[in-house]
A and B are shown apart, each in its own frame.
Chain A
Amino acid sequence: MWQALHHELAEQGGLPFTVFGVMADRNVEDTRPWIEAARASYPIVVDTQHRVPELYNMFNVPTLVWIDEEGRIARPTDVAVMNEGGAKLVRVEPAAYLDRVRAWVRGEAPALSSTERARELAAERLPTPAEQQARAEFALGQWLWERDRGEAAARHFELATELAPADIMIQRGTMRMRGLDPMGPEYGAIAGAIAQRGFRLYRPIRD
């Protein structure tokens, strides 16, 4: 999905820029069709243990973070989807978003209005003890599931979803391992319940 942008800026434009893709999935095989279809010339890695979601405190996909040349977060956890349906859902206009990335990479505009704004956005989303407890339950569940101890795994996934109901990475990402369909009506009901509790499934950044 981001290959065209990577090609335009890094390969054609010769700018110091890369897209870095992460697939947070239960196993490598689930990611294969997706990664092969992406035909990416940038790295796409597989993250079965949700290391990146944990390190960056991410709750949902797709998620974007803009990182500058010094390894500093220029724009914290953000969302953008390039297809029309997804774009409507997350309320981010794809063309405008791509223009923002281009302007940042070319050095024509900052990633956000100010560093203070970036700090404020980062402070809005710092992990809580309950969310870290949920991640510990997830890690144990994933380990058990990888060893064919599915029933025990499901118990820990359920505990994780109770501790952090708005963590879609865990809620939806573990559905197949709990015998549920992440694309079916069950997820719709979960998403509805989360929204009703006032949690936002996505956080598009407004400057």
Chain B
Amino acid sequence: MNATRSITLLDGESDEAAPRELLLPVAIEAGAARVPAEVVARELRWELKPEGLCRGDVCVPVRDEPALATEAGLDLEALALALDRPLALDLDEGAASLGASAGERGAPLARLEAPDFELPDLAGALHRLSAHRGKKVLLTVHASW
């Protein structure tokens, strides 16, 4: 039995202050959450081609294409697996979070490049780390707890 509904997908790939929130149509097929391939191409910018999942010139090979793609769309779990990205999925809540891969997050750190970010202060004013280029920066991370 197939049921079509929508799911909120949090795309945590970028370095934005909050994950990008996407509302995607999803079909539940044998327990798999499938998003139409054209929606994946438009919203997540990954297109299924004969050579694999492609974004521009970059293609990632897909080991199990029948599991990834059916007429109903691309299985989110298989998509995350192929892209080596973590997926937290909660179909009961109609929400999922697609994070960044360990490799993508680790690469700049291994090269000793300070990842840039922009976040708000108490008043809501945004501050970007790279605005302080030309200065030495002591980055301090705390929590109130």
Contact = CB atoms under 8 A, between A and B. Distances in A.
Given A25-B145, A66-B139, A140-B88, 8 more contacts: A10-B135, A16-B136, A18-B138, A20-B139, A34-B144, A57-B109, A67-B138, A126-B109
B102 A183 contact: no
Contacts of B1: none
Interface centre among B87, B92, B109 (most CB of A within 10 A): B109
B3 interface: no
A190 interface: no
Interface residues of B, number: 56
Interface residues of A, number: 89
Contacts of A90: none
B113 A20 contact: no
Interface in A1-54: 1-2, 5-6, 10, 15-25, 28, 30-36, 43-49, 51-54
A149 interface: yes
A67 B114 contact: yes
A169 B143 CA distance: 9
A133 B86 contact: yes
Given A61-B142, A118-B112, A18 B132 contact: yes
A51 B117 contact: yes
